[in-house]
Amino acid sequence: MISRPTPSHTFHRLFIHAALLVTCFATIFPLLWMVTAAFTPNDLILAKAVRFWPDDPTLSNFMIAASRHPIWIWLWNSFLTATLITIGKLILAVPAGYAFGRMEFPGRQALFWFIIATMSFPTVIAIIPTYIAVVKLQAVDSYGAMIIPSIPYIGFYVFYMRQAFRSLPSSIFEAAKIDGANLWRQFIEIAVPNVIPAIAALSVISFMGAWNIYLWGQLVLDDAFKKTLTTGIATFADLEGADRAWGPLMATSLLSILPVLLVFLSAQRFIVDALAPGIDEK
């Protein structure tokens, strides 16, 4: 090979590592501060602009936040809505992706584009009529109002599942047909088990997205006990105004990051791999 390490090569590598280190530090800094502030007593927080370890570490911020707002109920609501939205998206997108990827039928192309085109709709476009419908149905502050309209944003999911099912070898289906498996059994017993990584990747992406739904939640969740963490935090931040209770606010924010962070870290290899195909071969 030509590329043996030369002094200039080593210098180049060192430079890239240094640049990445600085960028990473700058990127996570706002969140790092959030973590240290969450464990620092509220009256000490504004004393300095930079700290890398909590001063006088305490859990009091979590206690104060919990005494002012139902943050544990918000946590539960976030879990519930994110999980149900994810299940809903998969129930719609997986069978559709299978049919588009592996079945021949009249109108296939047109129906596929009918769904894919929705990827280009800004989310706000549907908000006004949907909100009017929610108000008319007297469904404000219900989980249904939060969950159901959030499910049909499935353009990317259908596209992605179609690619996943397409990439399966036909031979596994031939064998099943010879054994007399009907279409449903071919789907459930052969196709789905072979695309579990794709389904897992989409579940993670959907869960993280649904966990962080903000604008729609702001609109339909008004009751303090129905809010999710992300919408609750915004109310919390607004109410406190200029003299923000930074500590409790940071504690609640940290609480909202931790679950998605755990999901992301445990599945990150998946997500990186999952994003690669699909785009390359149309």
Q: Which of residues 86-105 bind another protein (CB under 8 A)?
A: 91-93, 95-96, 98-100, 103-105
Nearer to another protein (CB atom), residue 31 or residue 224: 31
Where in 175-234 is the site for another protein (CB under 8 A)?
183, 187, 208, 211-212, 214-215, 218-219, 229-231, 233-234
Helix axes 196-211, 71-102, angle to 10 degrees: 140
**CA-CA distance, 229 to 252, in Å (whole number)?**
8
Nearer to another protein (CB atom), residue 17 or residue 57: 17
Nearer to another protein (CB atom), residue 175 or residue 272: 272
**CA-CA distance, 247 to 44, in Å (whole number)?**
9
Total chain residues near another protein (CB under 8 A): 98
The answer to whether 151 and 86 are in contact (CB under 8 A) is no
The answer to whether 248 and 64 are in contact (CB under 8 A) is yes
Q: Which of 4, 5, 7, 129 binds another protein (CB under 8 A)?
A: 129
DSSP type of residue 280: S
| Cα 257 off chain centre by | 11
The yes or no reply on residue 113 touching another protein (CB under 8 A) is no
The yes or no reply on residue 70 touching another protein (CB under 8 A) is no
Nearer to another protein (CB atom), residue 54 or residue 95: 95
Where in 37-66 is the site for another protein (CB under 8 A)?
37, 46-50
DSSP type of residue 264: H
Where in 231-250 is the site for another protein (CB under 8 A)?
231, 233-234, 237, 246, 249-250
- Which stretch of DSSP H or E encloses residue 73? helix 71-102
The yes or no reply on residue 84 touching another protein (CB under 8 A) is no
Kindly state the smallest distance separating residue 142's Cβ from another protein, in Å.
16
Cβ-based neighbours of 255, under 8 Å, separated by 6 or more: 62, 71, 75, 229
